[in-house]
Each structure stands twice: as C-alpha cells, then as structure tokens.
Structure 1
Amino acid sequence: MAQPTAAADVVIETRGLAKQYRGTLAVDGIDLRVPRGSVFGFLGPNGSGKTTTIRMLMGLIAPTAGTARVLDRPMPRAARAVLPRVGALIEGPALYGFLSGRDNLVRYDSADPTADPRTRAARVDAALDRVGLAAASGKKAKAYSLGMKQRLGLAAALLQPRELLVLDEPTNGLDPQGMREIRALVRELAADGTTVFLSSHLLDEIEQVCTHAAVMARGRLITQGPVEELAAGTHGRLAVTGPDPAEARRVLAGFGVTGLTADGDRVTGDLPADPAAVPDLAEINAALVAAGVRVRGFGRERASLEDAFVALTGEGFDVAG
C-alpha cells in the first residue's frame, strides 16, 4: 500500500465511502486517494462498484455513509464550485440525436457559465479536432457509431481546460486504432498537468497509460498505489521454452514452482510468493541441463497487473486492450 500523501497533493479523497441499494452494498466503505498529476486507473470487473463510486464523487448520487472530497472540497455539497473545474464522461455521453456533433458541443459549451461565448466556435473546433471528429462534425449524432459517440462525449469533457478529468470506460466501443488514439490523448493531457481518473475493466489499458491504480472487487477497495508497486508485489512467473515440456515440468516442480501449465513447447509456473523462498534461477537452469532438458528460452517473467489482480482477489477478467 502506498504511503499517505499530503492533502495538497491529493485531488480525490474518500473516507469510508459507501452506497447501499435495497440492502445490497454496491460500494463498501472505501478509502481512496488520487495523487495530483497522476493518471489514476480505477480497475475492476464490470459490477465491482466503479461507476457507483464515480457517481458519488461527481455529486450525481449521495453516499449512504462516509465522505468524499474532490479538489479539496466536500462532495456533493460543493458541487457548484467543483464541477466547473472537472471534465467528465460517465456511463456514455448524453447526446441530442437530432443535432450534429458540432451542435451538441455548442449546447454543452453554452450550458457552462464560465465559458466565453466569443471564443465558443474555436473551443468546439479544437475539441472536435482533438478527438478526431472534425470531418464528421456535421453528421447528426443519431447516425454516429458507439465509438464516435464516445469520442464526442470526450470532446465535451475537453471543451475547457480542466484540473481533473474523470473518464468511465472511455475506450468502450472503439476499435483498436481508436483505443490507441484515446490512450495517446490521455498521456498528452497528463503531460499538460491534468489529473486523469480513468475507470476500466481492461487490465491492459490501465497498465499502458496509468501511473497509479486502485483495484475494486465486489464493492471493496482491495489495494491502491503506483502501478509498478502493485505489479512488483506479485511473485511473478517462470517460463521455459523447448522441445521437452514434460521433463521441464518435472524439474520445475522439484524447485517449488507451482501452477505449472504447458502451451505447446512453453512451460510456465508460479514462483513462491515469499522472496526468501524463490529458488536461484542459475540452479534451476543447471538442473534442467543436468536432466537433459533441451532449452531454447528460460527466464523470469515480469509480474503484470493481471498477476496482481488474480493474486489479490482470486478472480480474473478481461485483459485485452
């Protein structure tokens, strides 16, 4: 678990935040801290409580218990002061289908009391260009694909410079190229000083773009901290590639490697969780050679967020990006 950070360095902080629906705890007393300037991944399977948490943070629903502070102000009490400093895309964009993409953004911008109407057209053009919708800006929103609607919702969140950007499953409905573009945009925004809070059920997405992450499961916050530390806390796996997988499995089992699986000529297994119990890789290599196992590849694989999630929760979920 990461060390606590000073209040001035935190843009989102919750204490005992909970939401109950008809006797069911959707969010179960979470203590969340999002560092300023981070790209913070809010990770968990669908139904784990991510969207409910975000809705409480944005003042859309009231918590059953606990407190939430966003940009050092209490939510939902300070929503009027906080929300103009936040861009958000939650549960997909709300669009007027009979209006063009451009006209939808004009409506969004007109509803912002802080937006200067004299520069509205320039802001709308810049937002459309940034999400790759300039060429389709005149098409009616009802004719947009799901991915195009996601882009338009993101453009609405980017009409003004924001201190905090909250994105709930922002790559939903996008093709692989669209996913890469949105991830690149998130990195650009972070480089410009915007804190990005990104929820996703895609482990690969979090690992590629986020500096920090929190893991949710069944309404509970399992862990949080820098992405590298979360992955480093997992023991990792050992892999051996060669034409003698059965013999390789027998040697590895003798060194306490567990969960051994073979995929063609590649054998992988879990190293012991206790660092003191991890065998010397040189000794394993020597034992493979002594047993006559032919080896084309051998080494320890870097632990991933998938490994960390499975180790923490015993569950798995989508990892594709």
Structure 2
Amino acid sequence: MEEPVTGAADDEEPTHAVIATRGLTKRYRGGQLAVDGLDLTVPAGSVFGFLGPNGSGKTTTIRMLMGLIEPTSGTARVLGRPVPRAARAVLPQVGALIEGPALYGFLSGRDNLLRYDAADPTADPRTRPGRVAAALDRVGLTAAAGKKAKAYSLGMRQRLGLAAALLQPRRLLVLDEPTNGLDPQGMREIRALVRELASDGTTVFLSSHLLDEIEQVCTHVAVMTRGRLVTQGPVAELAAGARGRLVVTTPDPADAARVLKERGATDLVIAGDRVTAEPPDQDPAEVNAALVTAGVRVRGFGLERGSLEDAFVALTGEGFDVAG
C-alpha cells in the first residue's frame, strides 16, 4: 500500500498546477473533521478523477475549491489564485456542475440557459443566443431545448447542467458525478465530450462513484478516505501498482484450489475450468511447480493486470460504491 501523499510548502507549489491545496482542512461545528490536511495537485490539461467512499470528504473539498465554504485551515489555489479570497476573479474561468443542477422547472431548457448566462456579468449578451444553442447541441439537448425543465429526466437535467457549465470557454471544468442518471449511450457521449474538452486544453476535475468511468476517461486520479488523501497520480501508474489476481486454467479446478490454498492463496473462486485467487507471497514459478507436482493439469497460469478497482480496495479497504 502506498504511503499517504505529503505536500510541499506554498512556495514550492507546482508551476503547472491548476488546483493546488496545502494542508486544506475543514472541521464542522461539533468537531466533525470532514477534510484533514489535504495536499492535492491537479496538473494543467489533465482529466483528474476524484474518488473516495461515502463521507470521505470529496464534496466538501469541491465546495471549498469553488469558494462555497471556507476552510478551517490550510490553503487552496485555483488557476494560481487563492480561494475563496480571489473567487470573483477565478470563477468566471471555471465551469462547475456540483450536486446536480438547480433549474427553473417552469422554464424550458433553452430559457434556463439564457437565465444562467444573463446572470454572468462577463457574458456578452450579443452572442448569448448562439452560445446557448452551441451548448445545447454539445450535450445532445437541441431537440428538447423547448421542453420545460420539470419534464426533463434526471439524465436530461444532468446534461442541461453540463451545458450551463459550457456556456463560456473555461480553463477548468469541475464536475460532480457528471454521468449520474444517464443511460449507457448518454454516459459514452459525456465521456467523449470530456475527452474533447481536455484535448482543447480544458482541465477537467471530476468526482465519480464509477471506477470504470474514471479508468476510461481520466489521466490522473486522487483517492480520499476518512477525509485524508491516500494517494494521487497518473491512473496507469496507480492501476499498475495494484496486485493482480492469480488465474489458473485447468480441468482439475478443485485440486488446483486445494493446492493454492495450501500455498497461502486466499479469496479463491472457482468458475468452470478457471480458478482465481489473491496470490500467495511466493515466487509464481514455485506455485506453478507445486500445482504440477500435485498432478494438476495446468492449461494456463498467470497474473491478471491490476485494475483501478483493485488499487482502490487495497488503499481504502472498502468497495467502490463511493459517491460521497
């Protein structure tokens, strides 16, 4: 297991960090410690996945980064500026979808976006209709633009909230569960949109309870548990560091499972002619030799590549229903 990440002092802040926190802490009244000494670094141009079990402090962190609540201690910088102190200068460059969109149900999807845009003092009213139309098209809502928002499904509401975040060019996009409520096709479209935005130079910071989604779309990831940062870094490196499962293919699965258990393997699962297990702390060649010596007919033997899910469970000791 990796050691918890430690951060640098403020004067050592990475030059290309779009988000950088140092010792960021939030303690609520009553003593609840929601975020504890967070040192987070989000590189420019990354698609950064933010993971953690329920109550791990993800949403509290996002709210502090957006200037919605003040930290108890520590610092946060977004686009190189301190928040919440410089929030007025920073937030026009940030698109955000946090805890679901707030919509006027009696207005159409298009009119909701027109209201959102009119509330932005930096928005040019002359280009407003064109930008609203482009945002609706980008999230696949053009056909439903005239429908009242109260008639939208949860997935359509998510799309409209994302459209609101895309009304202006953004250097940073912060998304809290962006595919919540979407069907598989909608999820694929949003993932493609996130990749497109990143390729255009927008840094995307997203939380999700879907590890598969993070693994498919994100370049970097951070894992939170109990208010503390457990690890952060490139997704490929984190997944590669996870210990894969041992897989044995054999017409003698029961005998193979017995031998593997004797050698110290755990969490054995038999499925047809496949036996999988958490590998023992031994040279795989020795385990394979033990199987052959015991008369097990080995047709296949190897370690599956570790996944982000494997890494997450190893780091937090928890499963992956991690919306929090």
TM-score (norm 1): 0.92
**Cα offset for 1:254?**
4.8
**Cα offset for 1:249?**
1.6
Aligned to 1:17: 24
Secondary structure in structure 2 of the residue aligned to 1:8: coil
Aligned to 2:311: 308
CA spacing shift, 1:295–1:2, aligned 2, 3 Å: farther
**Cα offset for 1:38?**
0.6
Aligned to 1:251: 259
**Unmatched tracts of structure 2, length 5 or more:** none
CA offsets 1:65-107 (integer angstroms, 9 cap, x no match): 1111100100000000000000000000011111000011111
CA spacing shift, 1:191–1:220, aligned 2, 3 Å: same
Pairing 1:116–2:124 present: yes
Paired amino acid for 1:93: P
Aligned to 2:95: 87
1:1-321 mapped onto 2 (5 Å cutoff): 7-21=14-28, 22-271=30-279, 278-281=282-285, 283-318=286-321
After TM superposition, the structure 1 stretch with the greater mean CA deviation from structure 2, 173-182 or 68-77, is: 173-182
Please give the root-mean-square deviation of Cα atoms over the aligned residues, in Å. 2.0
CA spacing shift, 1:278–1:286, aligned 2, 3 Å: closer
**Cα offset for 1:117?**
1.3
CA offsets 1:232-266 (integer angstroms, 9 cap, x no match): 22222111133322211233345443332323432
Secondary structure in structure 1 of the residue aligned to 2:223: strand
Equivalent residue pairs, number? 314
Paired amino acid for 1:302: R
**Cα distance in 2, alignment partners of residues 295 and 126 from structure 1:** 58
TM-score (norm 2): 0.91
Paired amino acid for 1:20: R
CA spacing shift, 1:280–1:298, aligned 2, 3 Å: closer
**Cα distance in 2, alignment partners of residues 296 and 2 from structure 1:** 45
Secondary structure in structure 1 of the residue aligned to 2:15: helix
> Percentage identity across aligned positions?
80
CA spacing shift, 1:318–1:240, aligned 2, 3 Å: farther
CA spacing shift, 1:308–1:2, aligned 2, 3 Å: farther
CA spacing shift, 1:85–1:171, aligned 2, 3 Å: same
Secondary structure in structure 1 of the residue aligned to 2:157: helix
Secondary structure in structure 1 of the residue aligned to 2:320: coil
**Cα distance in 2, alignment partners of residues 271 and 15 from structure 1:** 38
CA spacing shift, 1:255–1:3, aligned 2, 3 Å: farther
After TM superposition, the structure 1 stretch with the greater mean CA deviation from structure 2, 69-78 or 246-255, is: 246-255
Q: Kindly indicate whether the alpha-carbon contact (under 8 Å) linking 2:312 and 2:320 is maintained by their aligned counterparts in 1.
A: no
Q: Kindly indicate whether the alpha-carbon contact (under 8 Å) linking 1:46 and 1:201 is maintained by their aligned counterparts in 2.
A: no
**Cα distance in 1, alignment partners of residues 121 and 15 from structure 2:** 27
Q: Kindly indicate whether the alpha-carbon contact (under 8 Å) linking 2:7 and 2:39 is maintained by their aligned counterparts in 1.
A: no
**Cα offset for 1:44?**
1.1
CA offsets 1:260-282 (integer angstroms, 9 cap, x no match): 2323432112235xxxx55144x
Paired amino acid for 1:10: A
CA offsets 1:163-215 (integer angstroms, 9 cap, x no match): 00000011111111111111111111111111000111211111111111000
